[in-house]
Each structure stands twice: as C-alpha cells, then as structure tokens.
Amino acid sequence: MNILITGGAGFIGSHVVRRFVNTHREYNIYNLDALTYAGNLENLRDIEDAPNYHFIKGDIVDEGFIKGLFEKHRFDGVVHLAAESHVDRSITDPLAFVRTNIIGTVNLLNAARDLWKDQTADKRFYHVSTDEVYGSLGAEGLFTETTSYDPNSPYSASKASSDHFVRAYGETYGLPYVISNCSNNYGPNHFPEKLVPLFINNIIENKPLPVYGDGKYTRDWLFVEDHAVAIDLVFHKGKNHETYNIGGFNEWQNIDLVKLLCKLMDQKLGRDAGTSEKLITYVKDRPGHDLRYAIDAGKISKELGWRPSVTFEQGLERTIDWYLSNEEWLNHVTSGDYQEYYDKMYAQ
C-alpha cells in the first residue's frame, strides 16, 4: 500500500509518520509537507533513511501539484494532518487558515475522489481534526461525536468547514473516510509556540510565562505518542463514515498545569522550589477564548480498545526530559536554523 501522510514534518504528523514507518514496514509511507515554520525534518532524523519512507516537499493548496502527486503514486490511503493550527495566528491572519485548512483539504478530497472513482475497496481518507470545532463547554459535560459544531475562532471555524467537506464528499461521492477530533496534544518535537513547549523553553531561559486571563481555562491533554497510536487504530480498524473523539481523560486548568510544570522544571534544573512560579505573568485575554474543552473518548475506547498509556504527570515528565536532552533541536527551532535542514538533506 502507498500511504500519503500530509503535514508529516509537523508535531503530531512526525509522530504519526514514525509510527507508520516503523510499524507497517510493508507500506510505502509518503510524507508531504510544505515545511512552513512548524514543519521540521529534524523531527524525523531517526527514520529518514528507512527504505519505506519518502519525503515530498509541497503545498496542499497547489491543486495541480496535488492532482499530479496522486496520479504518480496511486495512493491507497491518506492521513491528513497538514493544517494551520495556532489560534493566535488565525486571529491575525484568518485567510491563511482558509487557504490551508479548507482549500487544501478540498484539493486532497478531489484528488482522492478522482483517483479512486468507483474502486474504493481498501481505500481510506482519514481527516484529523480538533475538539475546538465543538466550541466551549461550561463547568459540566463532555464533547461527544454528536455534539453540535460551534466554532469560536478562525482556526476552529476553518477546521469545522474542512470536517463538513470531508463528510459531504462521503455522502455525495461515496468517498470512504474517517474523522477524528482530538484534544490538546503535548510531547516531544512540539514547536515552541504552544503552551507546554513555550513555557519549558521560557523557564530554561528565565523568561516570563504569559498566562491568559485568570488562568482558569480548562483543557483535556493528550500525550502525542498516544495520539499516534489512536490514529493508527482508527486508520486500520475504524468504521467508514464514522467520527472518533480522541482525548486524554485528563482535564487541567491552565494555571494548575503551569504550576505543575514549574515544579517539575525546578526539580529537573536543580533550582529552589518556587523559582519558576515567580515567572508567571498574567496577560490580557485573547478574543473568543473558549472556557473549557473536554473530550468523551468512550467510543474509541469501547470500539477499538484504545486508552492513553501514560498519566499526564508521566507524559509531562517525559516531555520535559526530552526537551532538556535535546537542546540542539530546541536551539535550532528557536533560532530558525532548522529550516536549513531541508536544503542540506534534499536540495540538489
């Protein structure tokens, strides 16, 4: 089988690519990534020479390029992770999210539809989405697969739109698809703009830890390696035209998470207890900030037997250890030097 994984040089994507390459050696895995600021081929150094791994630099927004790619490689399956994903960036530049998350997704859908036509047996289009499409929860309740969509940011609106297009192609054209909506991911190789890697880096450098509002926004946290296992399961064993919510069974208020992170970092760095907490700085809230996300992952647990393998405390400690052991990676990312890796490895 030839499997296309889009956004495979990104945070979640690199973990999915690694799992597919190492676990399914009978597959040819094609990693398509535009290598924007969040795409980093250094994430995949350990498998870049694997015989079943192939990297392709390209943009899903380029319709002709995508069509040619499908015609050339005759993909049997797609795991679609390529997306603009940072809420703050979506507030600044909504059209970038429309182009990548909506138009890019439709380009992939069209290419898959045209290639597979009526030969859809053993084909699958897997669209990876987010719990943010559901909007915001109050103090009680959980997002389920039947929760109505209610996106509140340009990012979540663009992902909601792409979800709808995938389902529409299933109903209109008979495209075999599955969708998953995940909670906040954390773990190794995460670009330091999101909360956990940003704060790890800032604590290392004794920089302020900017906490939005009162810090009581609540999120469900999912270790990225557990997410990759779930994606593998859904791709192979999920039912066509079904949605699976993937969460960590693990809710934390932001301020409690940050204080735990500070405590662990002080221990790891040999600093006095409470040192890093002094870096916490409350900043003006962002527009449209959702109060609480919480995933009911009962369906994937019951139907496919998936459960998180680590507690949040275990996963966070592993994450911190990885960043402290990979200072070169972190330095390359924060300086921008990682962007030269493609030219070094692939440029002719």
Among residues 132, 226, 251, 290, which one is catalytic? Answer: 132
Q: Are 323 and 330 in contact (CB under 8 A)?
A: yes
- Would residue 83 be called left, alpha or beta, if left means φ above 0 and alpha means ψ between -120 and 50 degrees? beta
Count, in order, helices (H) and strands (E) of the chain.
Answer: 13, 12
Question: CA-to-CA distance for 216 and 221, rounded, in angstroms?
Answer: 15
Question: CA-to-CA distance for 286 and 291, rounded, in angstroms?
Answer: 11
The sign of the CA dihedral 198, 269, 15, 184 is negative
Question: CA-to-CA distance for 105 and 84, rounded, in angstroms?
Answer: 12
- Torsion angle in degrees (nearest 10) through CA of 32, 34, 37, 40: 30
Three-state secondary structure readout of 151-186: CCCHHHHHHHHHHHHHHHHHHHHCCCEEEEEECEEE
Partners of 307 in beta bridges: none
Question: What are φ and ψ of residue 267, in 5° steps?
Answer: -65, -45
The residue among 16, 169, 4, 7 whose CA lies nearest residue 71 is 4
Would residue 155 show up in a list of annotated catalytic residues for this protein? yes
**Which residue type sits at 261?**
L
Structure-token match 């002709």, residue found: 64
Q: Length of the chain, please?
A: 348
Among residues 33, 131, 163, 290, which one is catalytic? Answer: 131
Q: Are 208 and 281 in contact (CB under 8 A)?
A: yes
Would residue 63 show up in a list of annotated catalytic residues for this protein? no
Partners of 252 in beta bridges: 219
Residues 6+ apart with CB under 8 A from 58: 32, 33, 34, 65, 66, 69
Question: CA-to-CA distance for 104 and 113, rounded, in angstroms?
Answer: 14
Among residues 30, 53, 155, 342, which one is catalytic? Answer: 155
Q: What is the crossing angle of helices 254-269 and 312-325, to 10°?
A: 50
Active site residues: 131-132, 155
